[in-house]
Structure 1
Amino acid sequence: MRHYRLEPGRGLEWLTLQQRAVPTPGRNQVLVRIRANAVGFRDLLVLANNYPLPITPGVVPGCEGAGEVVAIGADVTRFGVGDRVAAAVFPQWVDGPFRFDSAAQLGTMIDGVLTEYVVLDEQGLVRIPEYLSYEEAAALPLAAVTAWHALTAGAPLRPGQTVLTLGSGAVSLFAAQLAVVAGARVITTTSSAAKADRLRKLGVDEVIDYRRNPDWHEAVRELTGGAGADRIVDSAGPLHKSIRAAALGGEIALVGYWLSGDAGAEPIDPELLFNTGAVVRPIATGSRAHFEALIQALTVHRLRPVIDRVFAFDQLPEALTYIGSGGGFGKVIVSHS
């Protein structure tokens, strides 16, 4: 079987496609034939050794993959041969709050899923909906689970509330889609008229061009009659503007703060935070329970992820180069078919 390996901090030239024997599942493990992966900016950070979690030298990269169970080990009860599954990004985080003893992440600390076959513990897998292709299902484990966690942590999201998503990255796109079907009014920031049109086609109510209007937090206030947004999914920063855009007692899900160079451009004024009464909650992807709840919601509403481009398995370097060039809209997929 073919699989990729990387050396952190060495760049694309140290991302190599290698071969080894197909592994055999042990007790409580299943062997999955990976059919599709998703990749994103997170993978570039791992390559550059600029990621918050430690990266094991020579690790198999990739934390997003979907495929088919082709063999099971002893005492496996959750899956059978032929089941369609996706891997949880944190395979040991089954439920409850995130803890360091559950922090082993696919593709950084432990071998990931950019491989043709992988052995995984049955506790780190979820069934994928029949209506989704493997390519669509591969788009879910990281960005979609993060968006679900961001919208469901804390107070429940109620119909009629205002949700603000920042940018048109994968997490923001999923958050917008989920908020729309939840009956929320959705406001999104983006950088171009073309992306604004595509966002409106997803059901977004209002779009603010942050390049033309860098004081987008003031525009959010104007669009909400001064009230501000009840829920903000902040995956782009800067955080101080999100706080200024929040409603009294609103909730801000802080996602991927390290992705934005200006996320900490201005120190947070304690008086501003106190007067807003906003809750700022860091979001670390999500647990298997989050993933399973997301799949239930997707299945009820028949939601499909936004796919930008699809590359072949041996085109992974080209896929990552494309991501690095910026300007995409939706998930980048690596297909094994």
Structure 2
Amino acid sequence: MKTYQVTQPGGLNNLNIVDQDMPQPNSSEVLVRWHATSLNFHDYLVGVGGIPVADGRVPMSDGAGEVVSVGADVTEWQPGDKVMSLFFPNWINGKPTTENTLDISGDTADGFASEYSCVNEEALTRMPSNYSFEEAATLPCAALTAWRALMVEGKLQAGDSVLVQGTGGMSIFALQIAKAAGAYVYATSSSEEKMARLKELGADEVFNYRTDADWGKTIAERSGGVDHVLDVGASATLKHSIDAVATGGHLALIGVLGGTTAEIDMVPLILRHIKISGLAVGSREMQNKMVAALEVNNIHPVLDKSFKFNELGQAFEYQSSGSHFGKITIKYVD
């Protein structure tokens, strides 16, 4: 079988396809034939060497595929089942802990840029029944992050307002989930074309952050303060997110697309009783609930461009251009 490995010191020139023997599952494992993966910013950082990983690490945190065989003690899965990976393979339910979030797929543990791999039976969930493998491969990181930010930490209610930033996979999933839950959604982009597409997806109001230097204040004036703000830019966006969020509102810190540090004026956070959640993806229990909600509401991901298995490097280069709208996928099986 073929699998990708990251060779140190990392970088796309050290992202290599190697041949390995077919693995065999132990008593509690499942052998999965992976059909697709999708690109996240975290995967990009691993791919270009921005996040150091062990030599020989298999990258990619997302995977969707089909069960080939199961170990002797496995009861939940059987051959032919369509399954998805977990970002945190050991976080099954309950609160995050140091122990259950130590392993990160495609980072501190092997990921799913491989034709086959063995995983623990609990490190999988079912796919939505109405999804293709490519669609399902977009869910374990980006969609679950949006779901947790809005539905788990934010406890989103119909009639609430939400602010999503940009047109990456997580932000678009957040827009779709929020609209399905009956929220009023504000969105931002720097592209007039992408702004129009956000409106087509259901965004109620869209703002150009490039032409409005105070877009957070502008949104606050329009909305009276947003109930749920999902910040993805850190250094580049956090000030604006604080400006936009309502008194008593929820600010989810999700991404670092604009840099990993940011100066914060503590006074408005304190006096406006803003609740802040720093979060990374979610648990197996959350993923199962999200899958059920996506099925009921017939929510499907927005797919941008698909690459072949041997084109992962080209896919990362395309991702770095920032021209995509929604999720970039890698399809292993024609």
- TM-score in same-fold range (> 0.5): yes
Task: Give the letter for the 1:236 counterpart.
Answer: G
| 1:85-144, Cα deviation, whole Å (9 max, x unpaired) | 000111100011111111201111111100000100010100012210000000111100
CA contact (8 A) 2:36 2:329 kept: yes
Confirm whether residue 50 of structure 1 aligns to residue 61 of structure 2: no
The answer for the alignment partner of 2:208 in structure 1 is 209
1:89 to 83, 87, 90: 87
Confirm whether residue 284 of structure 1 aligns to residue 280 of structure 2: yes
The answer for the alignment partner of 1:30 in structure 2 is 30
The answer for the alignment partner of 2:191 in structure 1 is 192
2-structure distance, mates of 1:79, 1:91: 16
The alignment covers a number of residue pairs equal to: 330
The answer for the alignment partner of 1:101 in structure 2 is 99
CA contact (8 A) 1:171 1:235 kept: no
Q: Note the 1:106-255 alignment, pairs <5 A.
A: 106-224=105-223, 227-237=224-234, 238-255=237-254
- Secondary structure, aligned partner of 2:315: helix
Distance apart, 1:333 and its partner CA: 0.5
2-structure distance, mates of 1:187, 1:161: 11
Task: Give the letter for the 1:328 counterpart.
Answer: H
| 1:26-69, Cα deviation, whole Å (9 max, x unpaired) | 01100000011111322221134433xx6222101111010000
The answer for the alignment partner of 1:10 in structure 2 is 10
CA contact (8 A) 1:9 1:48 kept: no
2-structure distance, mates of 1:8, 1:146: 29
| 1:277-310, Cα deviation, whole Å (9 max, x unpaired) | 1111001111111111110110001110010000
1-structure distance, mates of 2:96, 2:239: 25
- Secondary structure, aligned partner of 1:241: helix
Confirm whether residue 80 of structure 1 aligns to residue 73 of structure 2: no
Query: Following TM superposition, where does structure 1 have runs of at least 4 consecutive aligned residues deviating by more than 3 angstroms?
Result: none
CA contact (8 A) 2:64 2:136 kept: yes
The answer for the alignment partner of 1:260 in structure 2 is 258
**RMSD of equivalent CA atoms:** 1.3
Distance apart, 1:74 and its partner CA: 1.4
Distance apart, 1:317 and its partner CA: 1.2
The two structures have a TM-score, normalised by structure 2, of 0.96
- Secondary structure, aligned partner of 1:81: coil
2-structure distance, mates of 1:145, 1:228: 25
The answer for the alignment partner of 1:61 in structure 2 is 59
Distance apart, 1:170 and its partner CA: 1.0
Confirm whether residue 316 of structure 1 aligns to residue 301 of structure 2: no
1-structure distance, mates of 2:125, 2:181: 23
The two structures have a TM-score, normalised by structure 1, of 0.95
1-structure distance, mates of 2:44, 2:294: 28
Distance apart, 1:8 and its partner CA: 4.6
CA contact (8 A) 1:135 1:335 kept: yes
Distance apart, 1:155 and its partner CA: 4.6
Task: Give the letter for the 2:120 counterpart.
Answer: D
Distance apart, 1:145 and its partner CA: 0.5
